[in-house]
Amino acid sequence: MNRNLKLRIRILFLKTCFREHLVPCHLIKLLKYKINIHDRSAKYSIEKLKQNFIHKLLRVELKDSYKYLAHLQYELFRNYRNINSIFPHDICDSFFRRQEFIFARNWYQESVRINRKIETLIRPATHYKCKYISNITYGLTITEPQNNDTDFTPSKIEKIFIKDDNIINSNNVNTSH
């Protein structure tokens, strides 16, 4: 795959990370680096500094990628002019058409790969939260007293635990006061 395509995909990825406030994989270690500070306001300041640094670093990477892309395009057009001056136009047209087809196919494959990568950067936090949460439901049944009292205090409690769609009943748990 050529450098032009890789650079365009990199720009697409960095712009999406910048727009969605995502931390790319190569910068996650900067975010996870811990400093032993005990004051809450100092910890908050350090976290803000890390976020701002990553944001500025993304801008620098984007600027560098755009400048390098402009340089590659200049070199590419210079090579196109040289090829057009040497070969006949019908050969050049078929060659450039084939190159455009290959570029479009590779662009599609790489954009699908980058979209998956972005989805995995967005998804882990929500996936981790939802994975370990399970519903717990408590139910209470009141049985009537056996000796015709008018006292309706709960004599038996039924606990129902629902975890991972399996119901576990612990029936007839006596409550003694």
Q: What amino acid is encoded at 44 in this protein? A: Y
**Cα(45)–Cα(28) distance, integer angstroms:** 18
Token pair 């790319």: residue: 24
Residue 63: what pLDDT? 94
Token pair 């200049």: residue: 74
Residue 170: what pLDDT? 45
- Asked whether the predicted pLDDT for residue 127 surpasses 60, the reply is no
Q: How confident is the model at residue 160 (pLDDT cuts 50, 70, 90)?
A: very low
Do the Cβ atoms of 167 and 135 come closer than 8 Å?
no
Q: Dump pLDDT digits (tens) for 21-32.
A: 888 888 888 877
* C-beta neighbour count of 13 within 10 angstroms: 23
Whole-prediction pTM value?
A: 0.58
DSSP 23: P
Q: Please compute the mean of the pLDDT values over residues 139-167 and round it to a whole number.
A: 51
- Asked whether the predicted pLDDT for residue 103 surpasses 70, the reply is yes
Distances (CA, A) of 75 to 93, 133, 159: 19, 55, 74
Higher pLDDT, 40 or 165: 40
User: Which candidate, 127, 125, 3, 168, places its Cα nearest to that of 69?
Assistant: 3
